[in-house]
Amino acid sequence: MAETENRPTNFIRQIIDKDLASGLHQQVKTRFPPEPNGYLHIGHAKSICLNFGIAEDYQGTCNLRFDDTNPAKEDISFVNSIKQDVHWLGFEWSGEARYSSNYFDRLHGFAIELIEKGLAYVDFSTHDEMRELRGTLTEPGTNSPYRDTDVETNLQAFAKMAKGEYQEGQCSLRAKIDMSSPFMCMRDPVIYRVKFAHHHQTKDKWCIYPMYDFTHCISDAIEGITHSLCTLEFQDNRRLYDWVIDNITIDARPRQYEFSRLNLEYTVLSKRRLIQLVDEGHVSGWDDPRMPTIAGLRRRGYTPGAVKEFCKRIGVTKMDNLVEMGMLEACIRDDLNANAPRAMAVLEPVKIIIENVSDDHTETLQAPNHPNDESMGKREITFSREVWIEAEDFREEANKKFKRLVLGKEVRLRNAYVIKAERVEKDDAGNVTAIYCTYDADTLGKDPADGRKVKGVIHWVDAKTAIPAQFRLYDRLFEVPNPAAEENFVDAINNDSLVTKQGYVERSLATASVEDGNWQFERTGYFCCDKDSSDEQRVFNQTVGLRDTWAKIENK
């Protein structure tokens, strides 16, 4: 067993410790079983970190198994994206990726075994009839008229199902359990249905497909999974999980354990709702940086380390709660503050013209890539007669609290000189189009010689070497903490969740790419290069701001 000194603990790990100590299991075997019918989201990341993390800590194994029992909604592109997400988070599954469809032949055999034992029957009731007979939470169900069909007739009917002799919805195979059970999942659940759909793994071999609750437990048993971990909505289904394993001929006895799913503020994690956001065009796609998908987080600039740290901080419990978005943002902010190199960018540019610098002057300066980490080295920036600064960093008049550039006063250009605003030029609408300044040539890396105190520092970009850039400023996708509770969740979408600005970055980012990771644009926030970048224009996504501005809003 791995060292336990820094290992997190929770009720699942305590169960595992007990099982290993008692000799019930010699090695831990977990699995991550996504459906390949969509993209993984931050909630899946919690499950990934739990299952793979346990396998790593206990020197066990973790399988990646695709629950591919509904080919009508599945696609190989989802399979590939899920593999990419697991790898991106830094995990490796045991052996080859597995598929529930690998076991379709054996599952079919187990279904026949249940029929032969009188524990399954072919039901020709319609969907509506089945629902009517199922009962309610307070009233027991009623037996199907097909429930007592003899074994031989059921075997013949199931064989016809497999040969494609019945239409979709015409019949299904149901487990014969207890129509009066207080647990709805035990009221003769459907375990096989007819579905004429091409499967991305088995092609057109099958026209009947097993249901998840029948497939999952058997797949766990076939693979020798010791601890089958799932979220709390499957708690009642554990009874069906155990019933199937107890009534087929198989040696392994996996156990299911449930933990609370992740609910995150200002977003939705329901696959149905995420699909609606994409299909209705509320976002640009599954990897839109506002989406809580792992693909979206990756495109926004979140790091694997930040996501794993978030999963560690929220822990594993049996209690549902709504996790603050600020906790996720704090994880990436802490990561990038320590690890992201610095650069300068101007998002809303206004031009500075330094009148005592000649038109042909260009000077190369040195700037640290990180103020607290000398090992990151330095980069070259240029300084010339014209530079860009943020429009909000200049005022013609301001009180003493404003520490930036004011007409008639001085401020320092970061990593460069002290400048003084002398006069402005405006357009017909009264907007400032240029600020004419002078600079003190003897202030590079030091205070003015006569003892003048210059407290303000602003960022800038040399206009002569600046690289045009688009900046995509992302905010929370919804205006309310729990959009899923709204009558129509799309009505709660934040219309300002994406704001685009045109500006400039320093020349060191001329060849910036997605693979380069993140930068802190000084005094602005953390950004990463987007895949939409081109030779004509770099595109940068804001990962997170320098500080949590929502905390102030929420505390008002």
DSSP state of 194: E
| From 106, 160, 239, 261, active-site residue | 261
Pairwise CA distance, residues 97 & 103, whole Å: 13
Pairwise CA distance, residues 231 & 243, whole Å: 19
Close Cβ partners of 471 (under 8 Å, ≥ 6 residues apart): 345, 347, 500, 501, 502, 503, 527, 539, 540, 542
Pairwise CA distance, residues 365 & 353, whole Å: 18
> Residue 30's CB: how many other CB atoms inside 10 A?
25
Q: Is 73 noted as a catalytic residue in this protein?
A: no
Q: What are the backbone dihedrals phi and psi of residue 461, each rounded to the nearest 5 degrees, phi first? A: -140, 135
> Residue 495's CB: how many other CB atoms inside 10 A?
7
Pairwise CA distance, residues 556 & 550, whole Å: 10
Half-sphere exposure of 21 (CA within 13 A, CB side): 6
**Are 228 and 31 within 8 A, CB to CB?**
yes
Pairwise CA distance, residues 407 & 423, whole Å: 7
Pairwise CA distance, residues 329 & 267, whole Å: 13
| From 35, 348, 386, 486, active-site residue | 35
The overall longest dimension of the chain from CA atoms, in Å, is 104
Q: Is 35 noted as a catalytic residue in this protein?
A: yes
Close Cβ partners of 101 (under 8 Å, ≥ 6 residues apart): 66, 68, 69, 199, 201, 202
Pairwise CA distance, residues 271 & 380, whole Å: 47
Query: For residue 175, what are the CA distances in angstroms to 113, 154, 192, 490?
Result: 11, 12, 9, 39
- Amino acid at the residue 210: P
The gap from C-alpha 200 to its chain's centroid, in whole angstroms, comes to: 25
Residue 273: strand, helix, or coil: helix
Q: Is 117 noted as a catalytic residue in this protein?
A: no
| From 73, 271, 414, 501, active-site residue | 271
Close Cβ partners of 68 (under 8 Å, ≥ 6 residues apart): 35, 36, 74, 99, 100, 101, 199, 200, 201
DSSP state of 261: P
Q: Which two tokens stand for residue 144?
A: 């199907």
What is the torsion angle, in degrees rounded to the nearest 10, for the CA atoms of residue 136, residue 140, residue 141 and residue 147? 160
Close Cβ partners of 316 (under 8 Å, ≥ 6 residues apart): 10, 11, 12, 46, 50, 259, 260
> Residue 477's CB: how many other CB atoms inside 10 A?
23
Pairwise CA distance, residues 68 & 28, whole Å: 24
Query: What residues act catalytically?
Result: 35, 261, 271
